[in-house]
Amino acid sequence: MYYDGKVVLVSGATGGMGEEIVKKLAKYNCKIAIFARRVEKLKKMAEELSSKNSEIIYKKCDVTNKKDVEEAVKYTKEKFNRIDIAILNAGVLVPNPIEKMESSVVVKSMEINFFGTLYFLEQLFPIMKKQKESTISVTSTLPDRRGLAGWGAYGASKAAISWFMESLRPEAKQKYNINILTVKPGSVETPMIADYHRPGALTSEKAAEIILKGIRRKRKVIQFPFSQVFMTRAGDLFPNIVYDAIPIYMQKGDKYPEPEEK
């Protein structure tokens, strides 16, 4: 099997897609390093999922803390001697309503969603460039080409990820045989979007299955679920006058907060 014998690093491992990815990887004969802020949850996962097939190590890691990321990658390399696959899944979804324009929300989104990934890449590339083959999977978002009302901070941080990974992908592959996969999920049933449900959302388990299959097949970009991919990419083609006329409530989704004017 593809994952047998592999060393896999997973960030954002304690919830949603990240947790389901770890559960699925634990069924293979591989070594897994898991990282997140909730160390007690990491410990519980490692104890419950480690088996004769898989070895799981863990360490607390706040992706906004560059030192934490450095230690996470160093710990994995020292323990397992290499890193074959890195699945960078840590992220945050914070609404930024126009009624309360707060730069801190945008900064937080960029720190976690973009710079948290960048810190990992900075540490991973020196290791992976020396290996015969490696893979980096980074989670962006499906609507990464046009803005959505109320979600500018999240969208901007994820669009930056999509753009950045696309700029790295050909050079990483041609020079160092590093496969880069950008994951662009639409709605997935995770704690992060529990209050903002959209029709057609996939389960975290199904999303994890799609991601691991995409890594195995060396895909460059994967997008899901299909119904939302179709609607989103069709919307990307709308002229501005049509796109701007889409009702705001449809863009924001259910239960979007409606705060008072600042």
The 10s digit of each residue's pLDDT in 174-209 is 999 999 999 999 888 876 665 666 667 789 999 999
Instruction: Return the pLDDT at 22.
Output: 96
Instruction: Return the pLDDT at 101.
Output: 86
Nearest partner of 125 among 115, 135, 116, 111, judged by Cα? 135
- Specify whether the CB–CB gap between 9 and 73 falls below 8 A: yes
Instruction: Return the pLDDT at 3.
Output: 95
Instruction: Return the pLDDT at 199.
Output: 67
- CATH node for 7-252: 3.40.50.720
For the chain, which residues make up each domain, given as ranges?
7-252
CB-facing half-sphere around the CA of 96: CA atoms within 13 A? 21
Instruction: Return the pLDDT at 194.
Output: 58
Instruction: Return the pLDDT at 193.
Output: 62
Q: Which two tokens stand for residue 55?
A: 């070895």
Which pTM value belongs to this model?
Answer: 0.93
CB-facing half-sphere around the CA of 194: CA atoms within 13 A? 5
Residue ranges of the chain whose pLDDT lies below 70: 191-199, 261-262
Phi, psi of 145 (to 5 degrees): -115, -25
**Starting at the edge strand that comes first in sequence, how are the strands of the sheet with 178-185 ordered?**
55-60, 31-36, 7-11, 85-88, 134-139, 178-185, 221-224
Instruction: Return the pLDDT at 197.
Output: 61
Three-state SS for 66? Answer: helix
